[in-house]
Amino acid sequence: MDISITENVSIGAARGSARPLTADLYVPQSDSVRAAVVLVFGGGWSTGDKTQQKAYGIKLAKAGIVAMATDYRLSGEAHWPAQLDDVTTAIAWLQANAAEYRIDPKRIGISGNSSGGHLALMAALNGATIAAVCAFYPPTDLATLLKHGDQGSIAGLLGGDTAPEKLSAASPLTRVHKNCPPVMLLAGDADTRVPVAQTLSLYEALRGVGVPTELHVFPGLGHAFDFDRGMAVLASTLMAQFFTTQMK
């Protein structure tokens, strides 16, 4: 399917923020009303940018789904929950502009990698109108991850305040509820940055409250396994199939 790519589209700013956000749009060239997916990059909440999601944007658009890779404020610029506010702003922009891009506003999903997966899950679990969620090797329990050794990125995200209540409030694992949309989780079992236990704990919690949850654990693979071209092809295919199935 032919697609168009439009970079650096202005999508406004989160409430209370003067920082304008931008996004890259990957749009299938068809006249049908279709689903859409917001793509959120990773990088420990402190590095990275929306171009990291280009391959996924192209894959989804070729599958007939509008994809939007969004910007958000990094932790060096603003502390939590600024990142979540920016992601929900991106979702709201896509919903508000659904007619222009022939999107069904009831069929908007979200996907993210690593810290982007954390933000995607938090957006869905905190009440954003989302039809399905895909998260690659996401941090899900910040208190446990802090003990594992990831002090720098978590402290940076929270502005140095790693009190138990702050860690809990920013953790997808503590926000699980039965009305969460369907979720797909992907992780490598040799991940030393975000241990696979983070993914498995969330999987069990979601299944425990009846949320349809799909799990893919890849033996011997570490963090950011989809940087490998072959794994990127597999992961993007799984993601496209998941969103196509869940957002018919």
DSSP secondary structure string for all residues of the chain = --EEEEEEEEEE--TT----EEEEEEEES-SS-EEEEEEE--STTTS--GGGGHHHHHHHHHTT-EEEEEP---TTT--TTHHHHHHHHHHHHHHHTTTTTTEEEEEEEEEEETHHHHHHHHHHHTT---S-EEEES----HHHHHHHT-HHHHHHHTTT---HHHHHHT-GGGG--TTPPPEEEEEETT-SSS-HHHHHHHHHHHHHTT--EEEEEETT--TTGGGSHHHHHHHHHHHHHHHHHHT-
What CATH number is associated with residue 110?
Answer: 3.40.50.1820
Q: What is the pLDDT of residues 59-72, one digit of tens each?
A: 999 999 999 999 99
Q: Examine the pLDDT at 181 and tell me if it is beyond 80.
A: yes
Q: What is the pLDDT of residues 12-49, one digit of tens each?
A: 999 999 999 999 999 999 989 999 999 999 999 999 99
Report percent pLDDT > 90 for the chain: 97
Range of the domain at 136: 3-246
Q: Examine the pLDDT at 151 and tell me if it is beyond 90.
A: no
**pTM across the whole model:** 0.98
Under the banding of pLDDT at 50, 70 and 90, the label for residue 169 is: very high
Q: What is the pLDDT of residues 66-118, one digit of tens each?
A: 999 999 999 999 999 999 999 999 999 999 999 999 999 999 999 999 999 99
Q: Examine the pLDDT at 148 and tell me if it is beyond 90.
A: no
Q: Examine the pLDDT at 150 and tell me if it is beyond 80.
A: no
- Number of structural domains found in the chain: 1
Q: What is the pLDDT of residues 204-229, one digit of tens each?
A: 999 999 999 999 999 999 999 999 99
The confidence score (pLDDT) of residue 44 equals 97
